Amino acid sequence: MSLRREFDCGSSGEKRRMTRAAKPEPQRCHWAQKPLMAEYHDQEWGRPVHDDRMLFEFVILEGAQAGLSWETILNKRENYRRAFDNFDAAKIARYDGHKVRKLLADAGIVRNRLKISATISNAQAFLAVQKEFGTFDKYIWQFVGGRAKKHDWSNSRGIPARTSESDAMSKDLKRRGFRFVGTTICYAFMQAVGMVNDHAPDCFRYKPTA
């Protein structure tokens, strides 16, 4: 498909017909068709993340997704950053009852008392992991041996909801006091932060995940 546009040549009064070929849409994983999902897929999903603040953001957002769609959470992402001090774990760990009531009244986020409470306790557990390991990054990437795992599923519809690695991660996170970290949530987290590459083989992001 191409876009055809006509341009006046100025003083000559002649018209030239110029054909510009529209840039074709790249082949993406089946779930990344809507604009917001496509942008997230192209720019973030599957790219290795080693920044502690960003890793904590994904821990919280993946937990917030429980029972909802990821698109719903992406639509609220900027509201979450505003409401939760840009995912500053040290600040969130000190939230009190007044702050919780304020969050429960915030229509820009998922107003679920258990999820909000879990965000606070997860921040406290996150800080404890940082203290023990130096960084959360060092701790969390050990579940894939420090390197991203590249899967070779025939298509993105055949990707599993959990793996032995996500089982181990979930078990250890729960032991450390984290909540909303079931194995399926952990696997979604692993996909998001690039611990596994689950782009479909025909997806243009299948190889360039670094």
Spatial contact of 76 and 159, defined as CB atoms under 8 Å apart? no
The answer to whether 40 is a known catalytic residue is yes
Q: Is 45 annotated in the active site?
A: no
Task: Kindly name the residue from 45, 70, 95, 187 that is annotated as catalytic.
Answer: 70
Burial class (CB in 10 A: 0-12, 13-18, 19+), 113: exposed
- From the list 45, 57, 62, 80, the catalytic residue is 62
**Helical spans, DSSP H, in 1-96:** 35-43, 52-65, 70-83, 89-92
Q: Is 25 a catalytic residue?
A: no
Distance from C-alpha of 65 to C-alpha of 60, rounded to nearest angstrom = 9
Listed residue (122, 74, 65) closest to 95, CA to CA = 122
| DSSP-derived secondary structure letter, 177 | T
| CA distances, 156 to each of 11, 84, 171 (Å) | 55, 32, 26
| Secondary structure (3-state) at 166 | helix
Q: Are 197 and 206 in contact (CB under 8 A)?
A: yes
Q: What is the DSSP code (8-state) at residue 5?
A: E
The set of catalytic residues is 40, 62, 70
